[in-house]
Amino acid sequence: MAARLVLVGAGHAHAEVLRRFAQQPAPDVDLLLVSPIAQVPYSGMMPGWLGGRYSWEECCVDFAALAAAAGARWVQDEVVALNAAQRLLVLASGKTLRADFVALNIGSTVLTPRSIPGQPLILPTRPLTALRVHTEHLLSTLSSRQAQAPLRLVGVGAGAAGFEMLLGLQARLTAQGVTAQSTLTTRSGSFLPGLSVPARRLARCTLQQHRVRLQLGFDAARLGTGAVLDAKGNALAADVVLWATGGVAHAWPAQSGLAVDASGFVQVDATLRSISHPWLFAVGDCACFTPLAVPKSGVYSVRMGPVLADNLHAMLRGQPLSTYQPQPRFLVLLNTGDGHAIASRGALGWRGRWVMRWKDRIDRKFLGRYR
């Protein structure tokens, strides 16, 4: 019987795995992809989509097509549990899937407070697959707004995603004739961690140019009437809250008995294999690479893709596995929603329209690999 390899999640690394399987088919393998959707948005272009630069279709990878080209079966479903002892995946539909080998590329999720009437409207940045629906709902609700006063927009989380998405949303609202008064908040004492000092300075200038106030040290915990509240009850007035706090682990891998770190991310060795269950791989944001801490960033998931593809092929043939070497630093490109972008690499930083053109070329080239 052919060995069954189940790819769970339409993440960056699995796009590469499917591309490689299409180039180098493995006829003795029953290859499956479990993903709730076929058209998967690429996060790098989501701020540009939100800001109105790209159409949704321009930003998506068609995983159904990738799976078909790789000879894989696309299972339109979601994994909700894993019985590790029996190598059985439990799906949201109630069905189960037996697997010989599994690869997880399921990203992370975000814990978002619920909004009830009277409280600010909330736009969570994750899951990205729901971003379009959430944004369209928000914009249609705002279109019937009568108020003369500016819309109070608060971004919670001042990492790269929070920074870009707040500027993108503000640009979109401005284009729709809505004047926003924006604040970007973070619980920490600094913003855009990991960026160079010049890039952060340019980011601060950009916020000032767009009249976005930066409030450091505000640990947003919940929503109240017309406000975001921190744990002590301090309030920040808000009509709309963009929730972009850091990713948290999906619960089911830890519940399945896989070895996970203190945050619930699946611990893997240098070959990207689970340290407790060697028939399972985990890559991207859902993994904790035990040899060395690596940032939760799409760039790392992309770079894990080729190693994962090689190792899946090698494991199916009983050959030795390769190791993944994380790059020591990487280029960060932030879309500022005004036709410009900021670049940060090492100790350097730049801003300009040319940086946005550079980012656009990189993003389109990445997507072009999977079309």
**In the window 225-284, what residues touch ligand FAD (CB under 6 A)?**
250, 284
Helix (H, G, I), strand (E, B) or coil at 21: helix
**In the window 161-220, what residues touch ligand FAD (CB under 6 A)?**
161, 165
Part in contact with ligand FAD (CB under 6 A); list of ranges 23-31, 103-111, 194-202, 262-270: 103-111
Part in contact with ligand FAD (CB under 6 A); list of ranges 66-74, 116-124, 159-167, 311-319: 159-167
321 binds ligand FAD (CB under 6 A): no
**Of positions 17, 46, 59, 341, contacts ligand FAD by CB under 6 A:** 46
Binding track, positions 8-27, relative to ligand FAD; x by CB under 6 A: xxxxxx--------------
Furthest-apart CA atoms within the chain: distance in Å: 68
Spell out where 284-347 has E strands: 287-289, 332-335, 341-345
Q: Rounded to the nearest whole angstrom, what is the least distance from the CB of residue 47 to ligand FAD in the complex? A: 6
Part in contact with ligand FAD (CB under 6 A); list of ranges 99-107, 193-201, 269-277, 349-357: 99-107
- CA separation for the pair 231, 40 (Å, rounded): 35
Cis peptide before 127 (omega within 30 of 0): yes
CB closer to ligand FAD, 178 vs 286: 286
CB closer to ligand FAD, 275 vs 299: 299
Backbone φ and ψ for 74, nearest 5 degrees, come out as -90, 120
Q: Rounded to the nearest whole angstrom, what is the least distance from the CB of residue 278 to ligand FAD in the complex? A: 21
| Number of residues binding to ligand FAD, judged by CB under 6 A | 34
Structure tokens that stand for 198 in this block? 């010049």
344 binds ligand FAD (CB under 6 A): no
CA-wise closest residue to 80 among 247, 264, 253: 253
- CA separation for the pair 288, 275 (Å, rounded): 10
Asked whether 44 and 138 are in contact (CB, 8 A), the reply is no
**Of positions 32, 97, 106, 169, contacts ligand FAD by CB under 6 A:** 106
360 binds ligand FAD (CB under 6 A): no
Asked whether 44 and 54 are in contact (CB, 8 A), the reply is no
Helix (H, G, I), strand (E, B) or coil at 61: strand
62 binds ligand FAD (CB under 6 A): no
Residues ≥6 apart with Cβ < 8 Å to 111 = 245, 248
Residue for token pair 């971003």: 131
**Of positions 126, 152, 303, 351, contacts ligand FAD by CB under 6 A:** 126
Q: Rounded to the nearest whole angstrom, what is the least distance from the CB of residue 146 to ligand FAD in the complex? A: 30
Q: Rounded to the nearest whole angstrom, what is the least distance from the CB of residue 168 to ligand FAD in the complex? A: 9
Asked whether 72 and 49 are in contact (CB, 8 A), the reply is no
Q: Rounded to the nearest whole angstrom, what is the least distance from the CB of residue 121 to ligand FAD in the complex? A: 18
- H helix and E strand count, the chain: 9, 23
Asked whether 242 and 123 are in contact (CB, 8 A), the reply is yes
Contact footprint for ligand FAD (CB under 6 A): 8-13, 34-36, 40, 43-44, 46, 78-79, 105-107, 125-127, 129, 160-161, 165, 250, 284-286, 296-299, 301
